[in-house]
Amino acid sequence: MIFLLHAPQVRDTEVFTRLPDHFRRTGVRSDWADANRGGQPTDAFLEGPVFDGAGNLYVTDIPFGRIFRIDPQGAWTLVAEWDGEPNGLKFLDERTLLVTDYRHGLMRCDVATGEVRPFLTRRNSERFKGVNDLVFDRAGNLYFTDQGQTGLHDPTGRLYRLAPDGRLDLLLSNVPSPNGVALSPDERVLYLGVTRGNQVWRVPLLPDGSVSKVSAFFTSYGPSGPDGLAVDEAGRVLVANPGLGLVWVLNHRGEPETVLRSCAGASLTNLAFGGPERRTLYCTESVTGSVLRATLETAGGPVHRGRHGVPVVPRETKKSPAEAGLESIPAEQAPRRQLFQNINSPCSDGD
């Protein structure tokens, strides 16, 4: 149980939009729902909210391998569908999404055509456990989590960094279910949602590229721990907490200053800032297929993108002398490892 010296302000969200019925896969079973929701009926499970420069919101549907675009009026369009289990999203450029696909690794999606292609499917010829979420820093480094089915029984989840030159570093390998990632405004600290540990970890990023003195910044409670994260311009950390149906807004001491309550279901999974001046927080409520929102006083921090450049292959990591391998596919479909560069979008997401 959380002990607080001062009671946080409690506020309610409102429904922005819901997945239309004609997109729901009612009565259709999926391997993902059988494994992760105990076989409960799941007609969709929304995640990964991110805004484009025109104010459209993109979300994933994990069990049915879909990406949707939601316009500012709340109308839904199916962008892509494939045999994957997509979770997190970030833009590489104006028309290309980088996707953490639990089944296949890092994928990229052309939002104009719906084409989905491999980006990074293996590390040192070994498959990932099941990648989950991602964030770019302003220098173009990509941080992403490899969660799989890890937990307190198997604390072997991983945090990676993919540098603009293709270097892939394993930063952490002892995490019980690494999930959402977000960076402090000065990018000296990475915040990491640790779902099965029911915590948010604080990961200092040192100038030499290493990490040190990783600590538990915040501890929650209940049946399911922190999921997606966001950071506002003042450095507050926003934590989506499925199971509780809450978003914690934490100050620099890890104390909740504000608590946002779901007006729909309890499965608040991820967050993105958008709207005028990035002052509206959008939240995916996964089980009901809803997107909720709340207007906040402080704007969300800027989101950084990657942009296509010359192909590069991930080089050896600090943890291993071997190179990260490419999956064997036809030459005309070969994935390109692209250089990243910082682009600030007028709309920002923060998961």
Angle at 133 between CA 251 and CA 116, to 5 degrees: 150
| CB-based contacts of 183, cutoff 8 Å, min separation 6 | 135, 137, 143, 189, 190, 191, 231, 301
Q: Annotated binding residue at 56? A: no
User: Does 179 count as an annotated binding residue?
Assistant: yes
Between 41 and 325, where is the model more confident? 41
Report pLDDT digits (tens) over 102-130. 999 999 999 999 999 999 999 988 999 99
Q: Looking at per-residue confidence, does 318 or 40 come out higher?
A: 40
141 known ligand binder: no
- Told to judge if 232 belongs to the known catalytic residues of this protein, a careful annotator would answer no
What percent of the chain has pLDDT above 90? 81
For the chain, list the domains and their CATH numbers: 9-333 (2.120.10.30)
pLDDT > 70: percent of the chain: 86
How do residues 131-156 score in pLDDT, each as one tens digit?
Answer: 999 999 999 999 999 999 999 999 99
Q: How far apart (Å, rounded) are the C-alpha atoms in residues 87 and 204?
A: 25
Q: Which whole number is the average pLDDT over 64-89? A: 98
The yes-or-no verdict on residue 336 having pLDDT over 90 is no
How confident is the model over 223-249, as a mean pLDDT? 97
Residue 142 φ/ψ, nearest 5 degrees: -105, 120
Decide if 205 contacts 215 (C-beta within 8 A): no
Q: What is the DSSP string of 276-304?
A: GGG-EEEEEETTTTEEEEEE-SSPBPPPB
- Average pLDDT over the chain, rounded to an integer: 88
Q: What is the mean pLDDT of residues 333-340?
A: 36
- What is the arithmetic mean of pLDDT over 21-38? 94
Q: What pLDDT, on the 0 to 100 scale, is given for residue 338?
A: 37
Strand partners, 282: 272, 293
**Active-site annotation holder among 227, 232, 349, 351:** 227
For residue 251, give the DSSP letter: -
* 243-252: average pLDDT: 97
pTM: 0.87
Annotated binding residue at 47?
Answer: yes
pLDDT in tens, 274-314: 998 999 999 999 999 999 999 999 999 999 987 533 334 44
Task: For residue 96, give the nearest of 116, 81, 68, 76 by alpha carbon.
Answer: 116
What is the pLDDT, as a whole number, of residue 1? 52
Q: How confident is the model at residue 350 (pLDDT cuts 50, 70, 90)?
A: very low
- The pLDDT tens digits of the residues spanning 174-188 come to 999 999 999 999 999
Q: How confident is the model at residue 165 (pLDDT cuts 50, 70, 90)?
A: confident
Q: Take residue 150 and report the two structure tokens written for it.
A: 């890890």
Q: Does the structure show a pLDDT above 80 at 21?
A: yes
